[in-house]
Amino acid sequence: MISAQTKPDVPVFALPYTPSLDVPSMDKSVDPCVNFYRYACGTWIKNNPIPPDQARWNVYAKLQEDNERFLWGILEEASSSSPDRNLVQREIGDFFHACMDEASVERAGAAPLRAGLDQIAALKSVRDLSEFLAQQHLELGGGRMLFGFGSSQDYGDSTRVIAFLYAGGLGLPDRDYYTKTDAKSQETRQKYAAHLQKMFELLGDSPRTAALNAKIVLDIETDLATASLTRVEKRDPYKLYHKLSPAQVQKLAPSFGWQKYFRASGAPSSAAVNVTEPEFFSRLEAELKAKSLADWKTYLRWHLVRSEAPYLSSAFVEANFDFYNKYLRGVQEMQPRWKRCVRYVDRYLGEALGQVFVAKTFGPDGKQRTLEMTKQIESAMESEIGKLPWMSEATKQKAREKLHAVANKIGYPDQWRDYSSITIVRDDFAGNVRRAAIFESKRQLAKIGKPVDRGEWQMTPPTVNAYYDAQMNDINFPAGVLQPPLFDPKMDDAPNYGNTGATIGHELTHGFDDEGRQFDAKGNLRDWWTKQDGEEFTQRASCISDQYSQYTVVDDIKINGKLTLGEDVADLGGTLLAYIAWKTATEGKDLKPIDGLTPDQRFFVGMAQWACGDERPESKRANAITNPHSPEEYRINGVVSNMGEFTGAFACKEGQPMVRVSACRVW
Ligand SMILES: [Zn+2]
């Protein structure tokens, strides 16, 4: 595979350095009061065209790729057959070796599907589905075939882990793809049907049978999609909270053998199962009755090959790429194998790979500095809560309680996951993936009935991202996101607060966005707001969703402001908190302009430059449906145009695009 990147395609053994504020990346020919994002990022965008193997390209994606190239170096070393390797090196090295061994993967062809296909062929009745699905759900991860089964904290009691049944079973990225009637959506369904046909042909069906089978799958999935909640509906946790006994689950969909399913999954018995979407399971019951065993076999064959395709020979990998990446996301060429293999090691053995990454990149001082900044941002939030004109003292007290209870997790877990029970073989890639997937599924199910592990992370250490978890009430910053150009110890405070500070503020604000605010200090779904304060919040949040709903994503598609509300509230709140924290931290210091930018200007340019980037139109279209984040340009311009601090920093005038007449503010 030829890659058109400017960098040579080789592993690196040290991470490159990019400053957190890069003046040459700006485009000073743009007026910051007209389009601040273009002003801060214009030259970056010009100099960093989207690589052919990417759907979108931005500072985060670039840093992620730098990390991956560095992980490649780690994995190259670990994949030697040297007897000196320790356990972790053997695990990640052998997994990587098997993935990179293209000849073995090619030779295996479709063989890794054989056992699953034989089991499908052997099904004698719809009743038989339960045991087969239990096994497949362990092997493929939840949500692939028909529905998902796993574990999570009880919304009503965050100290308990209970079983969860989720809606699932779709091959397109969202239920909306099946229900929308516009021309583009119809085209997408046609392309999807063609892809289904292609995959059935790869499984050996004649073109005629494959085309009929494609229609059967599309029919079943469309029925399931119409019974699934929209992404906006799923932002309401009450809509996802239906605790049932196993007997009630059986009543909901009696044609499915739930007892057998639960037993075969190996999950500890659970008195309560949260069925996130009961409507979906009612529809599933109707489908089980309406469709023939032969139709179900067709549906299952598709989902088996869909799930396994990335790990099979090139015919499957390419067909899968052509539809999901090329057509749906506009990606021009497949990622080189090393990149895919690094990602699979990260996905399946992330805390083993992460250990080595952290040891080489993230010292205790990195952890300490981030912790200090987090504390400053938390105290900025505390003082801002005190000043909110619209909130009663009673609700403020509860908000402070919640804020004080937030746990800060920085860099990497205190305890590393032990993968030693997984058999990893140097020349069996698909087998390694299957065994690692089973390990993970079983690990999730084993949590049922056990105390919550508050030290657990949902992102691996090299990940360039961060998250807030409402039920844990914690904020999590992997080591991967705490390095230049996002956090840059060599740079002055202003851009660091603007960039990483605003990210910390963003995650913290998630605890208080439209979704997060519904959980209390302990992570329980419980309304701690007075009625009046709740209404005041909703009104201020609508200001934001109305603002973002005006922005065009691509062609005639606008942002779905109700889908992106939580992220947009967090972006604005996070930037405000970081600004206040920065002012407090530098109080009394004589800050000087640098490179022609005042300290305030440096804060805002630093804040904008995390988001420099571009995205293919196809990817924008897909993200408008599936991504709760607004496009980068609006994540910057939407925020600064609500901030008087920004207007002041750049002396913008009323009437200019970056000055909104009635600015929104929540936190
Ligand atoms: Zn967020």
- Residues 156-199 have pLDDT tens digits of 999 999 999 999 999 999 999 999 999 999 999 999 999 999 99
Distance 465 CA to ligand 1 centre (A): 9
Does the N-terminal peptide bond of residue 8 adopt cis geometry, omega within 30 degrees of 0?
Answer: no
**Lowest mean pLDDT segment, chosen from 10-24, 319-333, 613-627:** 10-24
Contact 358, 479 (CB under 8 A): yes
Distance 132 CA to ligand 1 centre (A): 37
Distance 86 CA to ligand 1 centre (A): 37
- Residues 589-608 have pLDDT tens digits of 999 999 999 999 999 999 99
Name which residue leads in pLDDT, 5 or 201. 201
Q: Please list the residues that pair with 256 across neighbouring strands.
A: none
Residue 143 pLDDT class (50, 70, 90 cuts):
low
Buried b (16+ CB within 10 A) or exposed e, 397-411: ebbeebbeebebbbb
- Residues 520-535 have pLDDT tens digits of 999 999 999 999 999 9
Distance 467 CA to ligand 1 centre (A): 6
Contact 574, 509 (CB under 8 A): yes
Distance 562 CA to ligand 1 centre (A): 14
Distance 399 CA to ligand 1 centre (A): 19
Q: What is the model's pLDDT at position 564?
A: 98
CB atoms within 10 A of CB 661: 7
Contact 639, 575 (CB under 8 A): yes
Q: Quote the pTM value.
A: 0.95
Q: Checking phi first, is residue 655 left (phi over 0); if not, alpha (psi -120 to 50) or beta?
A: left
Contact 199, 192 (CB under 8 A): no
- Residues 409-461 have pLDDT tens digits of 999 999 999 999 999 999 999 999 999 999 999 999 999 999 999 999 999 99
Contact 46, 38 (CB under 8 A): no
Is the pLDDT reported for residue 4 higher than 80? no
The CA distance from 75 to 356, in Å, is 10
Closest CA to 151 of 406, 440, 346: 440
Distance 571 CA to ligand 1 centre (A): 8
Residue 21's φ and ψ, nearest 5 degrees, are -130, 115
Distance 478 CA to ligand 1 centre (A): 14
Contact 473, 405 (CB under 8 A): yes
CB atoms within 10 A of CB 90: 19
Distance 145 CA to ligand 1 centre (A): 29
3-state secondary structure of 521: coil
Distance 513 CA to ligand 1 centre (A): 10
Distance 517 CA to ligand 1 centre (A): 14
3-state secondary structure of 166: strand
Distance 85 CA to ligand 1 centre (A): 39
42: Cα within 13 Å, side-chain hemisphere: 12
Distance 503 CA to ligand 1 centre (A): 8
Averaged pLDDT, 122-145: 91
The CA distance from 52 to 319, in Å, is 17
Distance 663 CA to ligand 1 centre (A): 21
Beta strands at 557-558 and 613-615: parallel, antiparallel or unpaired: unpaired
Tell me how far CA of residue 431 lies from CA of 37, 131, 317, in angstroms.
46, 21, 16
Closest CA to 639 of 615, 617, 662, 658: 658
Q: What is the model's pLDDT at position 363?
A: 78
Distance 299 CA to ligand 1 centre (A): 35
- Residues 614-642 have pLDDT tens digits of 999 999 999 999 999 999 999 999 999 99
Structural Rg of the chain based on CA atoms = 25
Distance 99 CA to ligand 1 centre (A): 32
Beta strands at 467-469 and 147-154: parallel, antiparallel or unpaired: unpaired
Could you please report the per-residue DSSP string of 38-92?
HHHHHHHHHHSPPPTT-SEEEHHHHHHHHHHHHHHHHHHHHTS--TT--HHHHHH
Distance 307 CA to ligand 1 centre (A): 28
Averaged pLDDT, 111-121: 96
Distance 381 CA to ligand 1 centre (A): 17
Distance 468 CA to ligand 1 centre (A): 7
Distance 510 CA to ligand 1 centre (A): 7
Closest CA to 469 of 241, 150, 155, 173: 155
Distance 425 CA to ligand 1 centre (A): 38
User: In terms of residues, how long is the chain?
Assistant: 667
- Around ion ligand 1, residues with a beta carbon closer than 5 Å are 567, 570
CA terminus-to-terminus distance, the chain:
49
Distance 393 CA to ligand 1 centre (A): 27
